[in-house]
Amino acid sequence: MLEGYHVAKVEIIEMGIAILGLALIYSYPVFPFFPLALVAIASSFIPHELAHKYVAKNIGLEAGFRLSPFYFLLSIVVCLLTGGIVKLGLAGAAVVHGWVAPGDEGQ
């Protein structure tokens, strides 16, 4: 079913960092909720990002998750500076490479 679909080691590492960081952000300042935040974020974040990758692959493009260090750190700083009132989920993005045929974009 998923033949030819490969998740690179760098994607796994960067997704792991993003998930841990987002779980810390969303459990701050009540850290006992960290395990719940970790499960909730991992169970939604991983399928969401892989869906971007597999849809792109389906139409002949290459894609992969990339951590955005600047926005990731910005999310942490904003959370800390506001005492956890403002929480941004700016960890990274699915970066897509390739040429899109007319009619394929947005699918």
| Whole-number Cα distances in Å, 49 to 56, 75, 92, 97, 107 | 11, 19, 10, 15, 15
Q: ∠ at Cα 28 (22, 33), nearest 5°?
A: 85
Decide: 12 and 42 in contact? Cβ < 8 Å: no
Which candidate in 14, 49, 62, 105 is catalytic?
Answer: 49
Q: Catalytic site residue 49?
A: yes
Q: Active-site residues: which are they?
A: 49
